[in-house]
Structure 1
Amino acid sequence: MAIVSPLRHVLRRLSTAATAAASTTSSLPIDLPTVRSLAKSGRYSEITALLKPPARTVTTVNSILSALNRSKSPSLVPSLFSSLFPSLSLIPDHVSYGILIKSHCLLRRASSHALPLLHDLRSKNLHINPVILTTILDSLYKEGKPDLAEKIWQEMKSKAALDLPAYNVRIMHYALAGRPKDVLSLIEEMEAAGLKPDIITFNYLMTCYCNNGRFEDAKKVYRELGARGCEPNAATFNNFVHLLCKNGDFPTAAEVSMDGMKRNKAPDFGTTKILVEGLVRGSKVRAAKRVVSKVRNKFPAKFDGGWKELGRGIGLKVGDGTAKLAAAA
């Protein structure tokens, strides 16, 4: 199971500038599906014609481009960028370039397209903010280009531009590469710089420990989250439960799952199914029933379909919409 949720949080934080450029698609002067349809057909002049004054501004174009990135259409951004600004006699600003860079990064083209754009920004004396650099850093790691990523990291370091999202991206890289010593070193470096590690940081540390067979260390990190001022998120519970199950530690996984539900974190069905089946195989049917019953009682709106089948499979009477075994408090 991939670590999805922490990545989403990192990317969400990386998109701050783009979000500022376009808070909602409803504020766009042109309907986004219309823009998408015309752009796919290469009918850029028609998009230009639809932009009536006073909407012919850099901010408006930035909003359209950002909306395309956020609506999973980054492939349309580069050509639209190249068309709209000249046709409207506008000069793109650093936010415009940040959105363009993000589109290339989403398309896994950081090394071939985003990096050259950095040179353009420098030649135009446009501001290169940490968001732009962190976006490229993240993409270079994902492209398997750690040497190029290292150059970006050193540039950020020289400019004192290293912030929490940047550290989390680097920690993600080390964690997924199975390097707990390097993750710990980065956490120490963060704290020395006055940056407080967050739950994303510790989720990756726990995952790194688990992937290296150091489950007791991962459990220790989990137990100490509160003392570190970190509130576990849904990814904390789902990822840790999955990794504990993978190691065959179903009783501990059940405890973590129940803890998550007590904190109103809805469990992932696939992960819970693995947990329940593992408990049943280990003759811990009652514990399995407690987990499923807790889901039913805590999150009744989602207890349908596969959840009901899972409950029936372990002997819960769920046909009337009520789990008969009360969940543990």
Structure 2
Amino acid sequence: MHPAPSVIIFSSLSGAGFGLLFFLGLGMPAPSGWVAFVFYVIAYALAVGGLLSAFFHLANPKNAVKSYSQWRTSWLSREAWAAVAALVVMGLYAFGQVFLGTTWTALGWLGAALSIGTVFTTSMIYAQLKTIPRWNQLPATPLMFLSCSLAGGALLSGNVTLAVVLLLVAGGVTLWHWSAGDTRFAEAGSTLNTATGLKGKMGLWEKPHTGENYLTREMVYQVARKHAVKLRVIAIALMSLLPALLILVLPTHIGAVLAVISHIAGILTQRWLFFAEAEHVVGLYYGAHLGKAAA
């Protein structure tokens, strides 16, 4: 699929923001006053900034409010409700720490659960799509989103030892998701025969239309394998290995800042690949996977 910058930014930044809110809700750390204010400004800037990016990605943003009515069947609607609930609860929790010097533990735990729950609902928007086999991986897709969110949150919250562990876990889960995803389309069993309902050896004589349209621009986008491999190496190095190394070798504020920058750059690369490598079954009508199907 063609990677939309707004969705890449949304899933990357909001995940880190809600990850930071998760650790703040658990009291890891439990700041107060101006220190708490700075922590929450960073968390809300990432979480809300990411959500706004997704909002402007909508074809008709003014209809976004209608998504709240579909919570029974739509993961997008559940994400919207979870995000609002998490931000409101954590806002009240932050008020106590910033202005009253008080930590309401029960409220923090509730906010932490809602924050990580928001990340889970985001992951399920993609994981439940059977038309995109690479995304339709349970539990790999949700675990990838959750591990990256927790790694970013631990890094931003200053939990150094935990951050190192979670950064490496996020890298490992990402490698697992890529490895399993490479064979998902074939495992799903979608071929030109299943797409057309015809039997026998199928071939593409002519594409459905001669010019480009939304499907060819957005759904049949493909990234060259050699480029994908290079980007995978860059993503793992930036999102996991380099940040972990920086906070271990350079345990200063400068090291922490460099680690955060590296991690976010790596996550952005990982999310670009997440969308660019996604293969929609509609691509079968445009000649995608014909060689594999024939084999």
Q: TM-score, normalised by structure 1?
A: 0.26
Q: TM-score, normalised by structure 2?
A: 0.28
Flag the structure with larger Rg. 1
More helix as a share of residues: 2
